[in-house]
Amino acid sequence: MFPGIGYGGSCFPKDVKALAFTAEELNYDYKLVKMVMEVNDLQKRILGKKVKQYFGDNLSGLTFAMWGLAFKPETDDIRDAPALELIDELLEAGASIRVFDPEAMNNVKQIMGDRLHYATGQYEALEGVDALLVVTEWSEFRNPDFAKMEKAMKQHCIFDGRNVYALERMESLPFYYESMGRKTVNATASVNK
């Protein structure tokens, strides 16, 4: 188990809901299963909350890159994917979003249409953005060219929903870096808010 922005997919959410339903039918108050579902719903909103705490509730005029759309790496499956809730939240707050996922972009495009910019690569997704949100822990996102990222991004700000980067590495780079359940790195980095 790794800290992150919640689980998704077709099996685990369905199985947890089935346990809750069975318990309800048997008049059993299965508190643990209820809490698992509640915490997962909260986790899916945590990255959006971090972004809004940093930039404010109104995200109009800001552009965000999102690396990863599938609920887990090595799949195009977006069923119950945390990325979808995050996209809705950011769009509702007025943000523009540039996305890249090695497999799942066509599936997201069927749902979101032209409300997003679908990048041809992970670095193209970063062009002119105010922040990067790492949503799915694809292996190609683990060792990026940070110098290339710095040049492409308007502001050097990363919100890592999967803790793919070591804090020690991020401390040596000019990025504001906020991850899950760990300290914020370079909290005083000059980012134009």
State how far the alpha carbon of 95 is from the alpha carbons of 35, 133, 134, in Å: 31, 13, 16
Q: How far apart are CA 16 and CA 33, in angstroms?
A: 7
Is 11 an active-site residue? yes
Q: How far apart are CA 30 and CA 100, in angstroms?
A: 39
Number of residues that make up the chain: 193
Question: Please, which residues have CB within 8 angstroms of residue 90's CB and are 6 or more apart in sequence?
Answer: 48, 51, 59, 64, 97
Q: Which of 5, 6, 8, 11 is catalytic?
A: 11
Helix (H) or strand (E) holding 28: none
Q: What number of CA atoms fall less than 13 Å from residue 158's CA on the CB side?
A: 27
Alpha helices in 61-104 (DSSP H): 82-92
Q: How far apart are CA 97 and CA 133, in angstroms?
A: 10
Q: How far apart are CA 184 and CA 181, in angstroms?
A: 9
Q: Which residues are catalytic?
A: 11
